[in-house]
């Protein structure tokens, strides 16, 4: 696997920040959110990890969006992605 470019790492960080922002809008801790959606808390932690250069897949983002009842368009409709 080739090394990610700095802009790819930055994009992954923005995705993680958006996941955290949206989860907090639901007003739940990672543990409560994970419990409500039948996933491990560590999974939520990994999705929100801004230091993980691997990022999360579009399939995982879509899964998260379904958990909080928003579209992928809504996910990416954020100032975090305004210059992407």
CA distances from 40 to 13, 44, 73 (A): 21, 7, 26
* Candidate CATH numbers 2.60.120.10, 1.10.260.40, 3.40.50.720, 3.30.110.60; the one for domain 6-77: 1.10.260.40
Cβ(32)–Cβ(67) below 8 Å: no
Please compute the mean of the pLDDT values over residues 17-39 and round it to a whole number: 94
pLDDT at 2: 67
Given a cut of 90, is residue 28 above it in pLDDT? no
pLDDT tens readout for residues 32-72: 999 999 999 999 999 999 998 788 999 999 999 999 999 99
pTM of structure:
0.91
The secondary structure of residue 78, as a DSSP letter, is S
């Amino acid at each position: 696997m080739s090394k990610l470019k700095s802009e790819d790492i930055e994009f992954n960080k923005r995705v993680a920040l958006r996941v955290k922002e949206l989860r907090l809008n639901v007003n739940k801790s990672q543990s409560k959110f994970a419990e409500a959606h039948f996933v491990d808390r560590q999974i939520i932690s990994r999705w929100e990890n801004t230091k993980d250069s691997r990022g999360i897949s579009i399939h995982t983002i879509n899964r998260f969006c379904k958990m909080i009842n928003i579209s992928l368009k809504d996910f990416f409709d954020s100032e975090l992605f305004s210059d992407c």
